[in-house]
Structure 1
Amino acid sequence: MIALIKGESEAGRLMQARLDMNRAWADAKAMLAANMQVLLVVAGVFFFLPNAIAAVFMPSFGEVLVQIEALGPTPNPDDVLALFSEFMGRTWWIYLLLALLQAIGMLGLLALLSDSNRPTVGQALAFGVMAVVPYVVGQLIVGLAQSGAVFLPIALGASVSAGLGLLLGLVGVVAAVYLWVKCSLLAPVMAIERKLNPFAALARSWRLTKGNSLVLFAFYALIIVAVMVIGLVAQLVVSVSSLLGPSALMLAAAIVGSFVTLGYNVVKLGVLAAVHRQLSGNPGKDIGKTFD
């Protein structure tokens, strides 16, 4: 009976939870400011360096575009597919390694930002390694659901008419964005609440975001737009380096692009931690405390 009452109380509290964007942003800034030194070191290792090294040394996707352009104005679809397949066959393991490194860094930093037990950096990153496989499984589940939400309606609609396929495709895109918002707290749930079952973590994210989907979408969209603007400004800065030659341009693009990626990921983690804290009603550790 006591457990039932507690469960009903928890359900009622979650139903009443409403996200305050101003408060979440203020909490995120406070967490990031209090822990900036360690954040930058860890984020530099897991976000900046891998992206910069990959941008400089790995084969560029631009090579594929040049090869496609060389096929003429109306290239054979089979030839285009062959070029894409050959490129991915050479580089898939690099993209996988980058994704795993960034996932480990993200989970570790979320644990550092919000764990009331104040883990060391090593302990938090060890947790990131332990949690990366369940997290990837959860992301694959979300990705498959999003793909189904988009392509199944297109296929069904296109079987009737092209116009209906386009209309249902737009509906599917909206559904995919909705799924993205509803599952956006997967990483905080795993890292902060230690729920490593991907299905349970996704269900928890779904419950936490109940009644806040539109607000969360607006919040995330504002951050993405801000990053896009910063990215455009960064591209203008990089374009100046073209005066020094193609090598300087490539190096500048790699460094500046990696810095933008680092900044976006750090801000995203702070926002996710703050949103989770507010919607879960769990204050976690004091915002002003820094890492051990």
Structure 2
Amino acid sequence: MPKFDMGAAWDDTMVLLRSHSALTGAIAAVFLFLPTLAVSWFGPMPIEPAEGATFDQIMAAFRANAEQAVPYQLLIALVSAVGGVGILRLWLARTGTSVGDAIVFALKMVPTMIAIQIIMGVAIGLVGVALLMPGIAAGASAIGVLLVGIGLLLFLGLCAYLWGRVSVTSPAVADQTLYNPLAALQESWRLTRDNGWRIFLFSFLVFIVIMIFSMVLALIAYAAVGNGEGIGRIVSGLIEAGVAVVSGLVMLALSAAVYRQLAVRGVGDTFS
């Protein structure tokens, strides 16, 4: 396989972000911005531990926040996946595609995208259990702590590698109309062969920049209006939704650029 070129991928990412901007912007507004904004404004407020709370009380508040956030985050993920596949369809189509056609296509691919996430989640969960179980079984001894640490490092490394290897699964689904989730994962695995770590590094660096940008905006908003009810929640919701659109579009364009670079095309089968 040819070596992945980060510079060329970034240039193509910028090209994709500029192409069909009005159409992709409309889809992003509906499927990325509005769901995030609705949950931020009308979803449950985070539970904050009382001042001077013990560690157990802090962890209890953390668990409660996670439990109440899961249904909303799953809904946002599902809606965002539909919008993401629709946007990828617009970018990767070699013939004219309307917004309506792209959305209809994305809706048809919902079962496939859900199946891909389930397969990946189960696989990562099983591997994580296998890597951490020896340390857990060893108990709280020094050997047990060491084994847990080693298992955790191996698990994080595996997740990073898998991030690179399955990074073009969604573009492959959108471009090749792959209804079979295993076929989509296999195609991503084939295209990213010998480039998994380079793709991960490229994606991770962009992700870190986005995270820093979003944290700076959140801190500025918190310092200005707080994060409580009223104006604070309105402003923080707008910022969160705006970051969701920007980060979502950038990461989608990045994955599409990686796919376009690595996909092996036959004569006359090229991207526009």
Fold conserved (TM > 0.5)? yes
Amino acid aligned to 1:44: A
User: 1:126-173 deviations in whole A, cap 9, x for unaligned?
Assistant: 010000111111111112222222232111233232211221221122
Residue correspondence of structure 1 range 1-292 to structure 2 within 5 A: 15=1, 17-60=2-45, 62-63=46-47, 65-66=48-49, 69=50, 72-73=53-54, 75=56, 80=60, 84=63, 88=67, 92-160=70-138, 161-242=144-225, 246-282=229-265, 284-286=270-272
Change (3 A) 1:24 1:147: same
Q: 2 CA distance for matches of 1:220 and 1:175?
A: 15
Q: 1 CA distance for matches of 2:262 and 2:115?
A: 24
- Comparing 205-214 and 152-161, the one that deviates more: 152-161
Q: 2 CA distance for matches of 1:193 and 1:245?
A: 46
Change (3 A) 1:71 1:245: closer
Judge conservation of contact 1:149–1:173 (CA < 8 Å) in 2: no
Q: 1 CA distance for matches of 2:252 and 2:105?
A: 16
Structure number, greater radius of gyration: 1
Q: Greater helix share, 1 or 2?
A: 1
Amino acid aligned to 1:38: L
Judge conservation of contact 1:149–1:172 (CA < 8 Å) in 2: yes
1:70 to partner: Cα distance: 7.8
The number of residue pairs the alignment matches comes to 264
Q: 2 CA distance for matches of 1:139 and 1:163?
A: 31
Change (3 A) 1:49 1:284: farther
User: 1:91-125 deviations in whole A, cap 9, x for unaligned?
Assistant: 55433321211010001100000111221110011
TM-score by length of structure 1 reads 0.82
Unaligned ranges ≥5, structure 1: 1-14, 287-292
User: 1:222-263 deviations in whole A, cap 9, x for unaligned?
Assistant: 111110121122123312432797521111111011111100
SS of residue in 1 equivalent to 2:96: coil
Amino acid aligned to 1:285: F
Q: Which residue of 1 aligns with 2:141?
A: none
Q: 2 CA distance for matches of 1:232 and 1:74?
A: 25
- Comparing 40-49 and 228-237, the one that deviates more: 228-237
Runs ≥4 residues deviating over 6 A: none
1:87 to partner: Cα distance: 7.0
Q: Could you say what the CA RMSD is over the residues aligned between the two structures, in angstroms? A: 2.5
Identity rate of aligned residues, in percent? 26
Judge conservation of contact 1:56–1:254 (CA < 8 Å) in 2: yes
Q: 2 CA distance for matches of 1:22 and 1:75?
A: 47
Q: 2 CA distance for matches of 1:198 and 1:272?
A: 17
TM-score by length of structure 2 reads 0.88
Change (3 A) 1:153 1:36: same
